[in-house]
Structure 1
Amino acid sequence: MIDTTVFQDKKAVYYTLGCKLNFSETSTIGKILREAGVRTARKGEKADICVVNTCSVTEMADKKCRQVIHKLVKENPGAFVVVTGCYAQLKPDNVAKIEGVDLVLGAEQKADIMQYLGDLKKNESGEAHTSVLKDIRSFAPSCSRGDRTRYFLKVQDGCDYYCTYCTIPFARGRSRNGTIESLVKQAAQAAAEGGKEIVLTGVNIGDFGKTTGENFFELVKALDEVEGIERYRISSIEPNLLTDEIIEFVSRSKRFMPHFHIPLQSGSDEVLKLMHRKYDTALFASKVKKIKELMPHAFIGVDVIVGTRGETDACFEQAYAFIKSLDVSQLHVFSYSERPGTQALKIDHVVTSEEKHKRSQLLLELSDEKTREFYARFIGQEWPVLLEKPKAGSPMHGFTTNYIRIELQDTEAKDNEVVQVRLGDFNEDGTALQATIVNK
């Protein structure tokens, strides 16, 4: 039995690095602590508990995790510091030695945080207690909003793909998922709480069903029936798992938005083979073509990694030309970072840091061009927008169904409201379209 009196009137801060799945899980941790009597520290307040949910997708991510931990320890002297997430799972001993850290929780333990917090007494030994198991088996449900308007519903975790550059299977375990029935109940609960939009999150969500004998298309169809939820977005889905039946269903659905995020990683078939990806550029192009045939207005985001081992100048030139030819809306560009224990380390031809930066900049510029071109197509049109709570001093903002970011100067508009707007010109920094409400 956990003595929750220890947690009454305690204050906590939460810091999340990495993916949407991490944000969802941090929100769930926050909910668990709130139910035990812990409140979120207000700006300027010293926290009694610090929770850092880490990422380890690159060496830079590891470095940022360490910087965040040092910063929180300094800003909250005496706080009980918990570190979890992928960096904690992969390098628990390194994290345990960081000054000020009291507890290191692995992927299997983060959902049971209350069992490990004890009496919140600081560790005096100089090295944190670690509770990290290498064998990750359980699926911890999570459907949380946190400080955002959108809910994030975790439908799947882990990955069985073992791409040569990636440590995710080691950090997150094998592919596993909740049942369709349980996920539909969580979506219905979000609707009962007033939620209007849910983002489906996971590590490899198209692989949904491995542990329950179900599949992702069945999940999509079931969620589409949940009353009260107006919008679903599929956070990221592998091109080989994005079936035509899913694309066709989204094109007819009132609730699933015309918005896709598809990891490409490289536009070179040679590099895709070295990565052990499960598709080629022809398949990827066919998916983009299918989406645009049925939904010309659809937003398509694409992940790309530059500078992987084996990416010669010729391979990058092929990749750039292929990506440029695609009718996509935005690129998420990552520079390759060598990860210990990955098969990529056996591949010849190492790309220099300078060349990685150069390639990254070229693709970021291409992304800006594509996003601006996509946004410009819709200037003057009317679209429904779900308004989101802005940061202090910032204008109200939101996204159209096809994920165009808008800014609204209307001071009476409320967040979590769907309004019809007319899209105007770009804002000052070109990151959104200015909009005016047509009706409320």
Structure 2
Amino acid sequence: MSKQQTVAFHTLGCKLNFSETSTLSRQLEQNGFEKKDFAEKADVYVINTCSVTENADKECRQLVRRIQRRYPESFVVITGCYAQLKPQEIASIPGVDLVLGAAEKFNLIKHLANLTKGDTAKICSCEIDDVSDFHSSFSVNDRTRTFLKVQDGCDYSCTFCTIPLARGKSRSNNIEKVVQQANELASNNVKEIVLTGINLGDFGKGQTGGKKHDESFFDLVKALDQETNIPRYRISSIEPNLITNEIIDWVANSDQFMPHFHIPLQSGSDAVLKLMQRRYSRDLYLERVQHIKKIMPHACIGVDVIVGSPGETEDYFKESLDFIHALDISYLHVFTYSERAATKALTIKPVVPVPIRQERNKILRNLSYQKLQYFTAQHLGETRKVLFESPKATKENPNQLMLEGYTDNYIRIETPYRAEWSNQLVDWTLS
């Protein structure tokens, strides 16, 4: 391949995937590639996949077919969770040239140098148990906010989840390196860092590249608070059994860590949580929420919920719905269960029919809307700091620029563009 190549990226899935795609993009640009929009013609297309749901798999296949129709001479590279779980299946998709598993994702440059169009798709993968290295990554879409990956992999065995099979064992960066990265991002005018990981609260546990760690996520929070000058940190999704009261108390007294938590629940029924092999009860979850709201009544709490998982009877769903309805939370991310190969959930009965799963999803999304409206209404008339991001054109009028930003407690604000507000913290009265 010649040195003056163009490349386009597309990311499916979580914030951690976006941080990894951003890092891969910078690597290629540093090696002479010109980045293109995914809708444009490029010499190489890289799709970083998710495999949490069947829809993510389908979207990957659709994207490949679209590239094949429009630009059949272009190279197509698939990496990410789907690539690790089902490399042969992906390699059989017409138009795919290279499949990179978890251990090879960050060796993309090396593999592109040896790629020839027209050959059978090349698979570069390994057994997931052999993956032990941690590759740091962060996303920079504008100067304002970045998603910083500090942990990868998961040692849990939830019956519905393929992530341990796709990402491997829990491993993480060390505190010294994370602090160094945060200070480098601060010097580049980044105002907010979102800490991300597959099982973020497990930071510091396990091994990385064969080396043991003796650090905790709480240690990381304290170090970032004390040794960096980033104005804002947010903690992305963290398990209820791993977000301790000492972490919550520290955030409550911090000027840098925002009063915003995202805590997966998955079900408000203890019977379903047991079937899922989750590591907490709903009582523990309730305790966490109550403690947050006791010391930070203004805090925003987001919740992940899965509906229609095997064994979720009508009574269990109602039990879950009633529990969530009573929780003092701010919004929900609702996921409809989909069958994933090689998961224990496939053996659990009864199986919930798909139309019932979809109906339950609709019920919880409506509840989420009500929760968010109520949470926002509680803060009307207050003046809170908003960090405005880069300007974006509206869909209705490409010539009209708007600014979008979030309060410290994650209330979304949109306003007509003002140059002096972009990438700045602004006092904003909610109305």
TM, length-normalised to structure 2:
0.94
Query: After TM superposition, what 4+ stretches of structure 1 lie above 6 angstroms from structure 2?
Result: none
**Could you tell me which residue of structure 2 aligns to residue 55 of structure 1?**
50
Note if 1:228 corresponds to 2:229.
Answer: yes
Q: Where does residue 405 of structure 2 map in the other structure?
A: 398
Note the alpha carbon deviations across 1:162-201, whole angstroms, 9 max, x for none.
1011110000000001111111111111111111100000
Deviations 1:289-347 (A, max 9, x none): 00000110101000000000000000000000000000100100001111111111111
Q: Deviations over 1:260-281 (max 9, x none)?
A: 0000000000000000000000
Aligned pair partner of 2:188 in 189, 193, 196: 193
Shift of 1:44: 6.1
Report the alpha carbon displacement of residue 43 of structure 1 after superposing the two structures with TM. Answer: 7.7
For the Cα contact (< 8 Å) 1:265–1:304, is it kept in 2? yes
* Unmatched runs of 5 consecutive residues or more in structure 1: 425-440
Q: Do the aligned residues in 2 keep the contact of 1:196 with 1:228 (CA within 8 Å)?
A: no
Q: For the Cα contact (< 8 Å) 2:143–2:188, is it kept in 1?
A: no
Q: Which stretch shifts more, 206-215 or 289-298?
A: 206-215
Contact 1:6 1:119 in 2 (8 A): no
Deviation at 1:119, TM superposition (A): 4.8
Over 3 Å counting, the alpha-carbon distance change for 1:422 and 1:76 in structure 2 is: farther
What letter corresponds to residue 422 of structure 2 in structure 1?
D
Aligned residues, how many?
417
1:434 alignment counterpart: none
Report the Cα distance in structure 1 between the residues aligned to 2:52 and 2:186, rounded to whole angstroms: 33
Q: Which structure 2 residues correspond to residues 99-248 of structure 1 after superposition, within 5 A?
A: 99-122=94-117, 124-125=118-119, 127-134=120-127, 135-147=130-142, 149-210=144-205, 211=207, 212-248=213-249
DSSP 3-state at the match of 1:407: strand
Quick check: 1:423 aligned with 2:430? Answer: yes
Alpha-carbon distance change, 400 to 76 in structure 1, aligned in 2, over 3 angstroms: farther
Report the residue type matching 1:129 in the other structure: K
| 3-state SS of 2:141 partner | coil
State yes or no: 1:365 paired with 2:361.
no
Shift of 1:13: 1.0
SS of the equivalent of 1:133 reads coil
Q: Is the 8 A contact 2:143 2:190 kept in 1?
A: no
Go from structure 1 to structure 2 and tell me whether the alpha carbon gap of 1:341 and 1:119 turns closer, same or farther (over 3 Å shift): closer
Distance in 1 between the 2:64 and 2:232 partners? 35
State how far apart, in whole Å, the 1-side matches of 2:33 and 2:322 are.
Answer: 53
How far off its partner does 1:26 sit? Answer: 0.2
| Cα displacement string for residues 62-89 of structure 1 (whole angstroms, at most 9, x for unaligned residues) | 1112112222333434221111000011
Provide the C-alpha distance between the structure 1 equivalents of 2:220 and 2:77, rounded to a whole number of angstroms: 34
Q: Is the CA contact 1:187–1:226 (under 8 Å) kept in the aligned structure 2?
A: no
TM-score by length of 1: 0.92
Structure 1 residue 423: Cα displacement = 1.6
* Corresponding residue number in structure 1 for 2:3: 7
Residues 323/350 of structure 1: CA separation in 2 closer, same or farther (3 Å cut): same
Distance of 2:101 and 2:143 partners within structure 1: 26
CA deviations on 1:351-404 (whole Å, 9 max, x unpaired) are: 001100110000000000000111111222211111112432352110011000
Q: Secondary structure at the match of 1:224?
A: helix
Separation of aligned partners in 2, 1:145 and 1:165? 32
Give the match for residue 429 of structure 1: none
Counterpart residue number, 1:39: 34
- 2:3 partner letter: F
Deviates more, 1:350-359 or 1:222-231: 222-231
Matched residues in 2 for 1:29 and 1:117: separation? 12
312-321 or 410-419, larger mean C-alpha shift: 410-419
The correspondence for 2:90, drawn from 64, 86, 95, is 95
Say if 2:391 and 2:417, in contact at 8 Å, map to a contact too: no
Alpha-carbon spacing, 1:338–1:68, altered in 2? closer, same or farther (3 Å): same
Which secondary structure does the structure 2 equivalent of 1:282 belong to? helix
What is the distance in 1 between the residues matched to 2:376 and 2:420?
A: 23
Query: Hey, what does 1:438 align to over in structure 2?
Result: none
Does the aligned pair in 2 maintain the 1:80–1:102 contact within 8 Å?
yes
What CA distance in whole angstroms lies between the structure 2 residues aligned with 1:224 and 1:281?
31
- Cα shift at 1:120: 4.8
Q: 2:295 is matched by which residue type in structure 1? A: L
Q: One-letter code of the match for 1:33? A: L
1:92 maps to amino acid: P
Gaps of 5+ in 2: 208-212, 395-400
The corresponding residue for 2:283 is 282
Give aligned-pair identity as a percent: 53
CA contact (8 A) 1:197 1:229 kept: yes
Deviation at 1:61, TM superposition (A): 1.5
What RMSD, in angstroms, separates the aligned Cα atoms of the two structures?
Answer: 1.5
Give the whole-Å Cα distance in 1 for the aligned partners of 2:49 and 2:417. 37
Asked if structure 2 preserves the Cα contact closer than 8 Å seen for 1:396 and 1:413, the reply is: no
Matched residue type, 2:204: G
* 2:81 equivalent among 86, 95, 101: 86
